[in-house]
Structure 1
Amino acid sequence: MVLLKIKFPFQRRVRLAQGLWLLSWLAVLGGTFTLALGIFLKTELRRRAEVMDNTEIHAVPNTLMLVGLASLGINFFAGRICQDSLDAGRFPRWKTFLQPFFVLALLFTFLMLVSVIMSYAMKGNLEESLKIGLKNGIRFYKDTDTPGRCFQKETIDRLQMEFRCCGNTNYKDWFEVQWISNRYLDFTSKDVKDRVRSNVDGRYLMDGVPFSCCNPNSPRPCIQHKLTNNSAHYNYEYQTEELNLFNRGCRQALVNYYMGLMNTIGAGVLSVFLLQMSVLVSLRYLQTAMEGVVGQENTEIETEGYLLEKSVKETVKEFMDSVLKFFQTTQVGAAGEVGEKAATPAS
């Protein structure tokens, strides 16, 4: 049973080909937009690579760049097909090309939809990646003389100032690590010795944070040392006073930033996906309508266009049968080659 059949008089076919030509070039812009979004997201993720633990999140921009490039090629050929559809003598040369073209086009269009779903579903991976990455970044903050970690301090400081955040979960994360290098500690000082001896791992821990945690909007000069000591500062109450530090953790700040980006990108790519599907559906109608003209003396006759020659169930079954047949032929051919090699006597 033919699915969604529509009659196409000559003028209607011409209008379809002309409108689809414009739509395909609009979809080329959509593909360029998708590619640009992928490059932008990739760049933004690489900027924060030092505070991310894995690269799984890069699957989203990589997929966007792939489908963006594929969309450029698909819609370029769609435009050429539309031009040749205006001349019944030139259309037949596309006949053998169109079936594999539609298979590849649907595959990459489906990948575009997958990238939209991924952009909404990667929050868990992103949080876990940032949790471990930021934890390591804070731990290596002091290692400015260690190769490979020389710029870790600068990265964390710039991150905290740019995103107005402090620590991984909050500012108390800095209390659990030694973030001041030993080269800047006076080990002849009793206070330093006592702090180092009081720690099992021999680390210099204190209730302080780096300067980059200070909130410039606070009316009070920044208190970044002895944060839990009420008597160390005038008119200061640790439990009740709102600290003049950034209260939000950097993990939450970065998750909000990247998920906001991905949600916006997902909405944009979804629009491109709908545009791409419109191109493919219209092109399928144009193809089937033009096939009725091929071989006819009168090229201005009325023809019928449709999406599928059979029902969806029959079409899927036929496609799966052809795929299985292809793989069976490949396996038989491979087994034959092995048998021929085994039958050849050794020289």
Structure 2
Amino acid sequence: MVVMKMKFPFQKRVKLAQGLWLLSWCATVAGATTFTLGCLLKTELLRRAEVMDNADIHIVPNTLMIVGLASLGINYFASKICQDALDAGRFPRWKNFLKPYFAVSCFFTVLMLLSVIMSYAMKGSLESSLKAGLRNGIRFYKDTDTPGRCFQKQNIDRLQMEFECCGNNDFRDWFEVQWISNRYLDFSSKEVKDRVKSNVDGRYLVDGVPFSCCNPRSPRPCIQYQLTNNSAHYNYDYLTEELNIYLRGCREALVHYYMGLMNTIGAGVLSIFILQGSVLVSLRFLQTAMEAVAGKENTEIETEGYLLEKGVKDTIMEYLDPVLKFFLLKNGGKVEEGDAAEKPPAVP
């Protein structure tokens, strides 16, 4: 059953070819934009690689970059096809090229849609990656003399100041790790000795946070140590001193930032997907409308164009059959021979 059959007089074919040529170049620019958006997201993720535990989230920018580059090639050839569409002598040379071209184009167009879906669905993976990465970042904050971790303190401090956050979940995460290096502790001091001995793992734990957790909008000088001890500070109640330090955790801040970025990019790529789909649908109508006049002297006759010559299911199977035969033909032949050998003779 033919899907979406339409009649195309000569003037309508001319307008379709001209409009499609312009549309294909717009889609080429959109493909370059998709690649740029992928590079932008990739760069932003790499900037915070030290607080991310895995690289699964990079599948979104990688897909966008691949789809963007593929879109450049797809739409470039679409513009060339449009130039030859109104020439009955030159258009037939694209005949053998168009079937694989549509298959490849549909694949990358669907991949573009999948990248949009992934940009909205990666919140869980992003959150778990940041949870583990920030936990390790806080734990290695003090290791400024350890190779490979020399800049961990600097990175965490900049992160907390830039995103106005503190800790992983909140500022209390700093109470659970020794974030002050032994190099800067006076072990001759009774207070230090008592704190180290009171801990099972021999760590120096304090109810304090690094300076980067301090909120510059606080009306009083920042209180970094003994945050939960009201008697240690004059006119202080840690439950009500909301402006003293940042209360939001860095995981929440980073998830909000990256999901906002990916959702914005996803909305942009979705509009590009619609544009790309319009190019493929229009090109398909132009191809089928021109096939009726290929090789004829009178090219100004009215023709019919359609989207699919058969139903959707039959068209998909038509494209899949060569692929399935390529991968399964030899194995299928061996199975059939083995079955024939094991099959007992029929009883007369």
Do the structures match in fold with TM over 0.5? yes
**1:279-318 aligned within 5 A:** 279-318=279-318
- In structure 1, C-alpha distance between the alignment counterparts of 2:100 and 2:333, rounded to whole Å: 23
CA deviation vs aligned residue, 1:152-205 (integer Å, no higher than 9, x gap): 000000000000000000001000000000000000001100100000000000
Does the aligned pair in 1 maintain the 2:166–2:248 contact within 8 Å? yes
- In structure 2, C-alpha distance between the alignment counterparts of 1:309 and 1:111, rounded to whole Å: 24
Percent identical pairs in the alignment equals: 76
Change (3 A) 1:334 1:14: farther
- In structure 2, C-alpha distance between the alignment counterparts of 1:314 and 1:325, rounded to whole Å: 16
Shift of 1:229: 1.3
The aligned counterpart of 2:346 is none
Q: Does 1:233 align with 2:254?
A: no
Shift of 1:322: 3.6
- In structure 2, C-alpha distance between the alignment counterparts of 1:50 and 1:299, rounded to whole Å: 64
Shift of 1:96: 0.4
CA deviation vs aligned residue, 1:68-89 (integer Å, no higher than 9, x gap): 0000000000000000112111
2:8 partner letter:
F
CA deviation vs aligned residue, 1:269-327 (integer Å, no higher than 9, x gap): 00000000000000000000111111212111111100111122322343343433333
Does the aligned pair in 1 maintain the 2:169–2:248 contact within 8 Å? yes
Shift of 1:330: 5.0
Range that drifts further, 307-316 or 41-50: 307-316
CA deviation vs aligned residue, 1:232-263 (integer Å, no higher than 9, x gap): 11111223433500010000000000000000
2:181 partner letter:
S
The aligned counterpart of 1:160 is 160
The aligned counterpart of 2:7 is 7
Shift of 1:57: 0.2
Q: Structure 2 regions of 5+ residues with no counterpart? A: 336-348
- In structure 1, C-alpha distance between the alignment counterparts of 2:132 and 2:324, rounded to whole Å: 45
Q: Secondary structure at the match of 1:124?
A: helix
- In structure 2, C-alpha distance between the alignment counterparts of 1:209 and 1:114, rounded to whole Å: 42
Range that drifts further, 316-325 or 34-43: 316-325
- In structure 2, C-alpha distance between the alignment counterparts of 1:228 and 1:317, rounded to whole Å: 68
- In structure 1, C-alpha distance between the alignment counterparts of 2:112 and 2:326, rounded to whole Å: 27
- In structure 2, C-alpha distance between the alignment counterparts of 1:68 and 1:232, rounded to whole Å: 59
Does the aligned pair in 1 maintain the 2:85–2:290 contact within 8 Å? yes
The aligned counterpart of 1:99 is 99
Does the aligned pair in 1 maintain the 2:195–2:204 contact within 8 Å? yes
Q: Secondary structure at the match of 2:327?
A: helix
Change (3 A) 1:330 1:28: farther
Q: Structure 1 regions of 5+ residues with no counterpart? A: 336-347
Aligned length: 335
- In structure 2, C-alpha distance between the alignment counterparts of 1:313 and 1:332, rounded to whole Å: 23
- In structure 2, C-alpha distance between the alignment counterparts of 1:248 and 1:58, rounded to whole Å: 26
The aligned counterpart of 1:339 is none
Q: Does 1:248 align with 2:255?
A: no
The aligned counterpart of 1:141 is 141
The aligned counterpart of 1:187 is 187
The aligned counterpart of 1:112 is 112
Range that drifts further, 269-278 or 219-228: 219-228
TM-score, length of structure 2 as denominator length: 0.94
The aligned counterpart of 2:215 is 215
Change (3 A) 1:249 1:307: same
1:132 partner letter:
A
1:271 partner letter:
S
- In structure 2, C-alpha distance between the alignment counterparts of 1:310 and 1:152, rounded to whole Å: 60
The aligned counterpart of 1:77 is 77
- In structure 1, C-alpha distance between the alignment counterparts of 2:58 and 2:222, rounded to whole Å: 38
- In structure 2, C-alpha distance between the alignment counterparts of 1:71 and 1:330, rounded to whole Å: 35
- In structure 2, C-alpha distance between the alignment counterparts of 1:250 and 1:324, rounded to whole Å: 49
The aligned counterpart of 1:343 is none
- In structure 2, C-alpha distance between the alignment counterparts of 1:107 and 1:29, rounded to whole Å: 19
- In structure 1, C-alpha distance between the alignment counterparts of 2:24 and 2:144, rounded to whole Å: 54
**1:261-276 aligned within 5 A:** 261-276=261-276
2:286 partner letter:
L
Shift of 1:329: 3.6
Shift of 1:332: 7.0
The aligned counterpart of 2:34 is 34
